[in-house]
Every structure is written in structure tokens, then in C-alpha cells.
Structure 1
Amino acid sequence: MAAVTRAAPVPAHELVYEPHQLPKLRSNYGGHLEADSVGWMKETPIETPLDEMRKRFSKDGYVFIKNVLPREDVLNMREAYFKHLESTGILKPGTSPRDGIFNDGDDPIMHAGVGGTDLPEAMDRVNKLEQAHHMPLYLAFLEHPKLRTFVKDFMGWSKDVLITRTMLRHNVPNGLSTGIHYDRIFLRAGEAEFLTAWVPIGDCTAAGGGLMYLEHSDDIGKDMEADFMKRSEQFTPEERISGFNTNMARDGQLSHDVKTFTADVLAGSFGDESKQRRWLVGNYEAGDVVFHNPYLIHGAVKNEDPLGRIRLSTDLRFYEDGAPLDKRWMRFWAPDDGL
């Protein structure tokens, strides 16, 4: 990419860091991560043979695929979402909904997104978030043939099922981001394993609030889940499948402090102690998708985007048709659904 200059500015939705520029990163709480504890995710071109993609997924627990979706289709979805929320004052005056620049003169807590305990108190804003999950353009976006065909081909399924409760969420600069977790915590009622697709809706640099993954951590997630199941033997069935049970943090996350969590995990008894455990991040561009397994530990970087862009994304979970899935998730997200 050409250098960014005052004479030739790059539109906000096109600015990315050069590969060697790994910025300082942090989570909701705790200081910035040390440079040696962070690394880049492996990028996989969409033209890569499926067998090679599957090998990477099996080895790393994720595969970061470039250009799964047409860029303009993704940016159109971004524009529609922020037009929908524009009346809340979330956007900086005079900026385009397509860029999604945060109104930095406002309180980030007042413009929280879906997915935690940080929903805004104003019910009109909460209603806007709920309504966004029903927008015709969003529902069509979820059925995009490029995405759905890729999922079926990658998994070798004759037919896929996308659970209805998707997580269309935004993350404003300096607001609360998603804590550290693995996805199985929240979908314990179904016996079948599932595939998660994290879809950034717009460009998102490494410091822009996107996901970070704890390297080679699916063994830790599996050990944690086995430990939880053993300790929850006396729970009621409802308590056992809840992501908010007494063994979890207040909002179902493992932690909101990456540095402390990493130190505790490395000092603990979960997973293979010989494995390297860096936090992996990416420069996500509109059209990219990250697929990961249910046990890979991940969370969101604190959004400190230099241009003030709001991170927008959706979390999708796919099962094979006919598999015993978590039926609690077969309804649209609602702020009081307990999930």
C-alpha cells in the first residue's frame, strides 16, 4: 500500500498498517501487551486449496481467509448499519456512515454494542441494536452465497445450518470490548461441535478492536471445559449449560485482563506447557473472514483506532444439517434472552 501523506490521504475504510508495524495492544483492563507476547495471524488467500486450509485449521485452531466476500457487499452492509444507528448520535458529524467514524465528543458507554453487560441505558438505542438483527439487508448478507458455499465446501457438509442468534455488534473507540473466552462456554446445550465465523464488516487494523487469538490454545479450552464439567456435576442441567454460572466471571467471560489471564494460564495446569502462547492479531479488511473452532481462546483488542473508526462485525456459528445443535440459539438476539 502506498504511504499515507497529507497530499494523498487514504479513505478511512482503506487505511491499514504495514505488516511490520505491530502497534501496542491492550484489552479492557491491564496495560499494553509486551511486544514478545504478540504476533501476526497467518493470512490464507481464498485461492488456497481446501486441503491446505483444513490442515492449517486443524493445526492452528483457526484459518484467516482473505477475500471470502466481495468487498463492496461488506461495505454496503457497514453503511446500512450505521445509517440505521445514525439518529443515536454515534457518528462524528459530517462523516460518512460507510466509514463509521465515532463521535468522540460523546460517552463511549452510551454507544455500547451487543454482546456484554455494557448495553446503553437508553432503551431507544437498545431497540436500535435489536432491530439491526432483523434488517433485510443483514439477513440477506447472512445468506451470501460466497460465504455459505465456502462453509459447506470447507467443512465437507452437504448442507449447513446457521444458528439464528447471530451477534451483530459494534465496538466504539475506548469502549468496552469483548472479554476473553472460548465459544463452547455459551453453546453447551448442543452435543455437536460447530464452526464459528467471525466476519469484520469493514476494515479493522490490529489496534482497531478486532479479535485476537491465544496461539495454539484450543488444548487449554478443552482442558478448561473438561474441568468445568467435572466441577459442575452437582449443578442442575440449567446451571450446567449456562455461560453465566457460578464458575464463570460475571458476564460469562474468562477474564477482561489479557496480561493477568495469560500469566495465570501459563502458570496453571491447563494445556501443553511446551507450546508457544502469543496473542495473534490481524489487519482485517472488508471481505475477510476468520473461522475458528469452539475451544480456541480469544477476545477483542481494545479499540484504539487512530482514525476513530468503530469496529463492526458479526459472529456466526454453523452446524452440519441434522446435528444436535444448541436450540436455545435458534432465535434472534434479544437483550434479555439470558444467553
Structure 2
Amino acid sequence: MVTSNGYVLDESPRRLGELRPVPDAEREDRGALWERLRRDGYLWLRGALDPGAVREFRRFYFAHVDPELPRGEQRAALFGRVVPGPEYAAFCTQPAVRDWYAWFLGGETFLHRRRILRHTRPGEAGVGTATQAHYDLVYLREGTDRVLSSWIPLGDCPVELGGLVYLEGSHVRVLAEEAAGTLKRPAASLTADLPALAREYDARWLLADYAAGDMVVHSAHMVHASLDNTAAGYRLSTDIRYQRADEPIDWRWQEHWHDLDGL
């Protein structure tokens, strides 16, 4: 049984499918990757990062943000030490990420300073525990809509650990409705009810077993969410955003992430 915020996903073939990784033959073909991104709304790049570097950063994170400590102490360590620290900055700008974006975007790149780290405890479920369905542009309206997000699982992340799921083809509908001006939503999630959203879009949620070293790049228009963590371990991930430096930049995203920053 696959759940998100306590809602049970419909596992019929019309409503649930598998994320497709980029084939090896396309990994160094920028034109093919852009075609795939425009068509699918995402690029699942298996093994894009060194798994050893990913696991080392995971160890660093949990050495400072102990999930067994009181929440106040966790938050102090997360927002006072880890988020603004040089280790996190180095991880997000490592050549495997920074150089890939420079190549893919074809010019000088810009990394938004507001970078997010999330961990969920084993067995967490119910509304408010998993990331609700949304697309990133609703939070990034002051800059270009060509900003790209990287979601990076910090460690192996099988389905039961609660990784990201993507609503198949949703970027096409969102792009059309954005262009028509019919999506005048506030900066908020669409819904926690993933089964209902799949029915509304007549689409499938796409899920995957991710491994340390994987990176998923997705469009700012692609609807995505996370699953509940029903496993025995902690799920840890980060999401960061790159764009071309010569395109408009959302000034609100140029401070370190904090859960009280209002974004």
C-alpha cells in the first residue's frame, strides 16, 4: 500500500506508474535531454553524483541534526549550523551538479541560496507529514519560469522510505493554464489528496526506488509530491534550484532557507 499524507494511492495502471530514468545513450546528448525534459517534465539521472559523497554528507547531517533530540535543538542545529554551513554549500556546488547545469543550460549559472533539506521519521503518516502536491513556480514568481529544480535523495530511497512522485504530463496542463492566466493561485500547495488530483488530471503518479547518487531535475511547472515514510529508517533529501545567470532571479530566494521565512 502506497500512501501520501495518509491518503492511499490508487495502484491501478491508469493511476500509478514508474518514473523512467534517462537512458545511457542520451546522457551526453544535450538536445535529447532538452527534448525529454520538455516532453516528460523531468530528468531522472541515475548515478549523477558520487554515492560516497552523498553518504558522507548524510553522515554529516545526522551528526549535527540528531532526530532524537528535542525539536528546538534540532531546528537550532539545522538552521544555525547545517543550512548556512560550508559543507552544505560545497555539496550543492560540487562539480557533478554545478558543471552539469553549466553544460545543460549552455551558459553561466546561478544557484539560489534558499536550499532545502528535509528528513522524515520512520512511520510518519497523516496530513502534514509528506510534501503535498505542488509545482515550484507558485513559489518562484519573481524570477524566470525557466528555473530548474534538482531533487537529490541523500542516501538510498526506496518507495517505502517516501521519495518524490511526479504527476505524469502535469507540466503540459500547468503550462497551458499559466499561459491562459487561469491559475491564479497563492503560493501554496495544490492538495494533500494525491488520489483525487490524479483523477482530476486523469493521470498517473510516477514513483521510483532511488539510490544514493541519483538526481532528478524537474521543470518549475511539473506537479510533484512525496510519499509517506513507512520504512524503518530516516528519509533525508535536499532540493536546490539552478538557472541561467542572465535571466531574471527571484530576489526572495537569496537568503538561507528557514522554515519561518514565509516562502
TM-score with structure 1 setting the length:
0.70
| Distance across 2 between alignment mates of 1:282 and 1:26 | 14
What displacement does 1:30 show? 2.0
**Structure 1, 71-80 or 147-156: larger mean CA deviation:** 147-156
Map of 2:16 onto structure 1: 38
| Distance across 1 between alignment mates of 2:136 and 2:24 | 25
Residues 60 and 192 (structure 1), Cα distance of their counterparts in 2 relative to 1, 3 Å cut: closer
Map of 1:76 onto structure 2: 56
What displacement does 1:310 show? 1.3
What displacement does 1:143 show? 1.3
| 8 Å CA contact 1:45, 1:67 repeated in 2 | no
Runs (4+) of structure 1 moved beyond 6 Å?
A: none
* 1:336 and 2:260 matched: yes
From 215, 229, 241, the counterpart of 1:289? 215
Kindly provide the amino acid, as one letter, of the partner of residue 193 in structure 2: D
Map of 1:199 onto structure 2: 152
Segments of structure 1 that go 5 or more residues without pairing to the other structure are 1-23, 91-109, 111-121, 233-239, 244-251, 267-276
* 1:278 and 2:204 matched: yes
Residues 324 and 162 (structure 1), Cα distance of their counterparts in 2 relative to 1, 3 Å cut: same
* 1:138 and 2:88 matched: yes
SS of the counterpart of 2:49? coil
* 1:325 and 2:249 matched: yes
Map of 1:273 onto structure 2: none
What displacement does 1:45 show? 5.0
What displacement does 1:334 show? 1.7
SS of the counterpart of 1:198? strand
SS of the counterpart of 1:43? coil
SS of the counterpart of 2:8? coil
* 1:258 and 2:177 matched: no
| Distance across 2 between alignment mates of 1:32 and 1:140 | 37
From 205, 220, 225, the counterpart of 1:299? 225
Map of 1:49 onto structure 2: 28
| 8 Å CA contact 2:168, 2:205 repeated in 1 | yes
SS of the counterpart of 1:141? helix
What displacement does 1:135 show? 2.6
Map of 2:72 onto structure 1: 123
* 1:153 and 2:100 matched: no
Identity of aligned residues (%): 31
Kindly provide the amino acid, as one letter, of the partner of residue 55 in structure 2: L
SS of the counterpart of 1:44? coil
What displacement does 1:152 show? 1.2
Residues 46 and 66 (structure 1), Cα distance of their counterparts in 2 relative to 1, 3 Å cut: farther
What displacement does 1:151 show? 1.0
SS of the counterpart of 1:197? strand
Residues 75 and 204 (structure 1), Cα distance of their counterparts in 2 relative to 1, 3 Å cut: same
| Distance across 1 between alignment mates of 2:201 and 2:167 | 11
Map of 2:68 onto structure 1: 89
| Distance across 1 between alignment mates of 2:177 and 2:35 | 24
| Distance across 2 between alignment mates of 1:316 and 1:224 | 25
SS of the counterpart of 1:33? coil
Matches within 5 A, 1:187-266: 187-226=140-179, 229=181, 232=184, 243=187, 252-266=188-202
| 8 Å CA contact 2:150, 2:215 repeated in 1 | yes
| 8 Å CA contact 2:135, 2:223 repeated in 1 | yes
Kindly provide the amino acid, as one letter, of the partner of residue 76 in structure 1: E
What displacement does 1:43 show? 1.2
What number of residue pairs does the alignment pair up? 255
What displacement does 1:199 show? 0.8
Q: Which has the higher strand share?
A: 2
Kindly provide the amino acid, as one letter, of the partner of residue 205 in structure 1: P
* 1:28 and 2:5 matched: yes
What displacement does 1:139 show? 1.4
SS of the counterpart of 1:325? coil
In angstroms, what is the RMSD of aligned CA positions? 2.0
